[in-house]
Structure 1
């Protein structure tokens, strides 16, 4: 799912509706949340003008005069809402995200925070009760009118009490804040140029598991003093990932034969370094094919074993199992346990952390750690010449240029150091230096060192 959040500062003004639509189309948003619509009746909002198709549904909160107002618009082909909770400062839409594999209960909160510190604290407590009282995946976004630390403000006053209440709400609701790309501040006052990071996306760990490569970007301000911000779940395609070798393969039957056969049957030509590189590529391709076939056979085998174990367990409910049946059931359980153990070894190496206790196989923990590392390692965008760039080719070129300049030899012509009059050792002395130590030499060195310590020599 792709989200777009914008404090539009009056959706009824000239050009605002078409601006929202352009942003929706550009970022392929399937859920759009607007704050400060400034319309006291939702019937006055041109929702059709904000969308580019007829497949949409929306919920809204009317403004109080020219203050506030919320609207959330969703693509019904992706998200189907079934319950709405309305408040002056937040709009909760509960529904089902139509995942290709299975439907997921998702609760999406569009927030426009109040100005008063006491009112903010009240809103955070209400939202916390709602989040703790309803199951499902949570996405909370909007203009919170609050910052988390002094670095989120520039040329404006920081309130530690408001920040403390806001941080406490995020912690107690178990929400995660994203590192935002693009603009550093999402709000800029057009009167006195005060800058603040008031807009953000907060998600629960379930959302991070569902969309491990999601990222948030603050885009340039246009018709509002707030930046449009997006939460996109897609992954940029930077080409094939590097080949990685897993220790688990060494424990699988047939791996040694695949490596030896590929190494011995390779035929190539060229210089030694080119020949070796081609041979390693050939070996890598053979290992990839073996891994694909091996994983498929293993999944099919585990499925068959699971079915047999379940059938025997059903039989055991009506009569005692025979000796052969008990042995078959026991062997199946052992095989499934061994497969789970090997999968846990894979997770351990992917996460690149050690188990806190030998035998711990908390796969959910390792999956979360892997997804977290993937999110922080991916480049979703770079600031190039003062402009936030998300294009894959532009990012590749900038990364290449950076490291090319970093490691380029500054001295193209170096002085040569050559003197034939340097003294050198004989060939026999060189061989003696490189020869391994004998046990007698080691014992003599240890004995001499021990005697020196006993006698007080240094």
Structure 2
């Protein structure tokens, strides 16, 4: 099954050229799911939806802006996804339902994280609780207004507090952060000296990744927003099993070195005799178990 999702912080849909840019992007890429953030729209009329290129077999869910701030819009193709539940909160819109030839409930969550540091702790807590309270296969995308690694920002005003919150959120929810093909950053302030940050991304649960092993996350050309659109595509090319990913920051956690030392010191089973490969395979399982156990700490 080939499909494409697109996410974009549009920074307002009030001007006709913004709606036209979205429609052109939709017509060119033909996504089955589209996430827009910072719409600055309180209500979506039929006229505005036509300007955005939303056609008859597509449905929407949105969180209205508060005055001229915020606003989230999700658009999906009903031939691809059948919605059962919709949740609209200030910082995210979630739609849960079914996709073809997949028996599990799938959730698509469109995120627009707060820009102020004081609100980010509650935002990630609320998001984590919401994901944990629904038995679904998850695809989460949007503008998190936070970055994961030091390599994802060039410029001034470093604040590692929000980075650590974001890292903890991903560790607790066990979402997979996919490699971004193309440029390394999704936003710039267009000033001198410039600041570049990766604020936008898709995160998926491991069962979503198992269902769609051909995922590619790509950065698209910037047009009328200072954010680049990003796409998540299932392109039909299976490159094999996904590698086990270990984030560097996990190695800074207390007791991690002891965990590795203990796992590598275990004697091999006489029945398997897999040598180093067996030890590494066992270590992988121990790390996953340890990471899950840390949710409650």
SS of residue in 2 equivalent to 1:46: helix
1:149 and 1:158, CA in 2 relative to 1: closer, same or farther beyond 3 A? farther
**Other-structure match for 1:137:** 137
**Other-structure match for 1:9:** 11
Task: For 1:191 and 1:10, locate their aligned partners in 2 and report how far apart those are by CA, in whole Å.
Answer: 20
Task: For 1:216 and 1:48, locate their aligned partners in 2 and report how far apart those are by CA, in whole Å.
Answer: 28
Shift of 1:10: 1.1
Larger Rg: 1
Task: For 2:156 and 2:221, locate their aligned partners in 1 and report how far apart those are by CA, in whole Å.
Answer: 20
**Other-structure match for 2:34:** 32
CA displacement 1:403-424 (0-9 Å, x = unmatched): xxxxxxxxxxxxxxxxxxxxxx
SS of residue in 2 equivalent to 1:15: helix
What TM-score do you get using the length of structure 1 for normalisation? 0.50
Structure 1 stretches of 5 or more lacking a match? 242-352, 366-458
1:83 and 1:40, CA in 2 relative to 1: closer, same or farther beyond 3 A? same
CA displacement 1:108-167 (0-9 Å, x = unmatched): 111111022231110111111111111111011101110112211112322111100010
Task: For 1:357 and 1:176, locate their aligned partners in 2 and report how far apart those are by CA, in whole Å.
Answer: 20
* Aligned residue runs from structure 1 range 282-321, under 5 A: none
Shift of 1:25: 3.1
Shift of 1:57: 0.6
Task: For 1:105 and 1:47, locate their aligned partners in 2 and report how far apart those are by CA, in whole Å.
Answer: 27
1:40 and 1:190, CA in 2 relative to 1: closer, same or farther beyond 3 A? farther
1:103 and 1:6, CA in 2 relative to 1: closer, same or farther beyond 3 A? same
On the 8 A contact 2:214/2:238 being kept in 1, the answer is: no
Shift of 1:228: 0.4
- Structure holding more strand per residue: 2
Q: Runs of at least 4 residues of structure 1 off by over 6 A?
A: none
On the 8 A contact 1:150/1:158 being kept in 2, the answer is: no
Identify the match of residue 60 of structure 1 among 59, 62, 68: 62
SS of residue in 1 equivalent to 2:93: strand
Question: After the TM superposition, which of the residue ranges 108-117 and 30-39 deviates more from structure 2?
Answer: 108-117
**Other-structure match for 1:230:** 231
CA displacement 1:25-80 (0-9 Å, x = unmatched): 33331000100101122338722333364111100111111111000000000101
What TM-score do you get using the length of structure 2 for normalisation? 0.76
Task: For 1:92 and 1:12, locate their aligned partners in 2 and report how far apart those are by CA, in whole Å.
Answer: 24
Structure 2 stretches of 5 or more lacking a match? 241-275, 286-297
The answer to whether the aligner puts 1:167 opposite 2:167 as a matched pair is: yes
Q: Which has the higher contact order (CA 8 A, sep 6+)?
A: 2
Aligned residues: 245
